[in-house]
Amino acid sequence: MVTIHDVAVRAGVSATTVSHVVNGTRPVSPQLSERVQRAMRDLGYQPNALARSLRRKQTHTIGLIVPDNSNPFFAEMAHSVEYAAYGIGHAVVLCNSDDDAEREALYLDLLLKRQVDGIVLVAAATSSDAMRALVERGPPLVVVDRDLANPANDCVLTDHEAGGYAASEHLAQLGHKRIACIAGPSDLESSAGRVAGYRAALRAAGLRVDTSMIVRGDFRDHSGYVAAQKLLKRADPPTAIFACNDLMAIGAMAAVRDAGLSVPEDVSVVGFDDIHIAGYLNPPLTTIAQPTTELGRVATELLLQRMQDRTLPPRRVMLRNRLIIRRTTASAPSRSISYFVE
């Protein structure tokens, strides 16, 4: 491995002079600079970027922790963060917490040890106390999608309750009376907000909120399938299902088909997120579109500003989501439905 001393010998200068040329820490005459650069090219010398970064207290890396990198929503968000970070000369270290608080804490500690310049976090179940400790001792932090109710950090969110309301209101306006909800994990603010919107929309439509019609999943497709099976086996099955994310909605659609029923003729389905494949399903999924690309871009921009000025007051950015009506929703069926049993 070629060292700075090898370059110095080849150029006929001191190692200190080579260091000044490499790091730009002191002016060097054009003649000496040219000799050093020629020696570096001849020897194939590559400066140690990590060492230079640590000396300058910058590694030009950003940590990104997501709860499930197999979920297209988080994959699309990660792509947006990576694209924005690349534009400002930073690389992204991607970590998958698998929605596990202990695993998330380990990754946070790892990123601190790697001395990343900042962290974008889609939180699992990390406590606010842990977040406060990170803000106090760690690099700048921006929380995305899931609010930790911690006033000390920047966050970028969408209005989950408004989205849950819009999805459920759409179903009520189509004449559905038995509207079920497949909720996400109980400890996540995003899931709680969507369920709160569902409840509010039903009350506004004059419909009774039946808690037995709220079945919990884990934001993965199989949990949506199992939850929909449970709902369809009821004596009074729903004619419409609001699933709190698109993956669970996809699972619910499969359960409807396997029950010998049709979407939307027998059961209407609405999702949440508008992942890329939502518009290419058969039938295409009606859903609440989150501004995924904008979430990642704004989070990265806030992080850059925080990296440049740690004294800025905490910022809270709320982005709008919107209802995308496709072909998985229709007017409530006039006939009752029953679960198909072979």
Q: Residue 285 sits in a domain of what CATH number?
A: 3.40.50.2300
Return the minimum-mean-pLDDT range out of 104-118, 164-178, 247-261: 104-118
Tens digits of residue pLDDT in 280-316: 999 999 999 999 999 999 999 999 999 889 889 989 9
Number of residues in the chain: 342
- Whether residues 254 and 306 fall in one domain: no
**For the purposes of burial, counting CB atoms within 10 Å of the CB of 31, is it exposed (0-12), middle (13-18) or buried (19 or more)?**
exposed
- Whether residues 238 and 139 fall in one domain: no
Is the model's pLDDT at 152 over the cut of 90? no
Q: Is residue 151 part of a domain?
A: yes
- Whether residues 255 and 311 fall in one domain: no
Q: Residue 11 sits in a domain of what CATH number?
A: 1.10.260.40
- Number of structural domains (the chain) is 3
Q: Is residue 332 part of a domain?
A: no
Q: Is residue 285 part of a domain?
A: yes
- Whether residues 272 and 179 fall in one domain: yes
Q: Which of 248, 268, 289 is the last residue of a domain?
A: 289
Query: In this structure, what are the phi and psi dihedrals at residue 97, rounded to the nearest 5 degrees?
Result: -80, -15
- Whether residues 267 and 149 fall in one domain: no
Q: Is residue 330 part of a domain?
A: no
The residue with greater pLDDT, 240 or 336, is 240
Whole-prediction pTM value? 0.82
Q: Is residue 331 part of a domain?
A: no
Tokens encoding 187:
């400890």
C-alpha distance across the termini of the chain, in Å: 71
What is the C-alpha to C-alpha distance for residues 180 and 233, in angstroms, rounded to an integer? 13
The residue with greater pLDDT, 57 or 105, is 105
Q: Is residue 138 part of a domain?
A: yes
Tens digits of residue pLDDT in 217-250: 999 999 999 999 999 999 999 999 999 999 999 9
- Whether residues 42 and 67 fall in one domain: no
- Whether residues 150 and 103 fall in one domain: yes
Domain that holds residue 193: 161-289
- Whether residues 133 and 213 fall in one domain: no
Q: Is residue 54 part of a domain?
A: no
Tens digits of residue pLDDT in 137-151: 778 999 999 877 666
In the chain, what percentage of residues exceed pLDDT 90? Answer: 62
Closest CA to 10 of 41, 54, 52, 55: 41
Is the model's pLDDT at 12 over the cut of 70? yes
Kindly list the strands in the beta sheet with 154-158, ordered across the sheet, starting from the edge strand earlier in the chain: 91-96, 61-66, 118-121, 141-144, 154-158, 316-319
- Whether residues 223 and 284 fall in one domain: yes
Amino acid at site 109: D
User: In the prediction, which pLDDT does 341 show?
Assistant: 44
- Whether residues 84 and 154 fall in one domain: yes
User: In the prediction, which pLDDT does 153 show?
Assistant: 81
- Whether residues 166 and 264 fall in one domain: yes
User: In the prediction, which pLDDT does 5 show?
Assistant: 86
Is the model's pLDDT at 133 over the cut of 70? no
Q: Is residue 336 part of a domain?
A: no
Mean pLDDT rounded to a whole number for the chain: 89
User: In the prediction, which pLDDT does 253 show?
Assistant: 98
What is the C-alpha to C-alpha distance for residues 83 and 78, in angstroms, rounded to an integer? 9
- Whether residues 267 and 284 fall in one domain: yes
**For the purposes of burial, counting CB atoms within 10 Å of the CB of 200, is it exposed (0-12), middle (13-18) or buried (19 or more)?**
middle
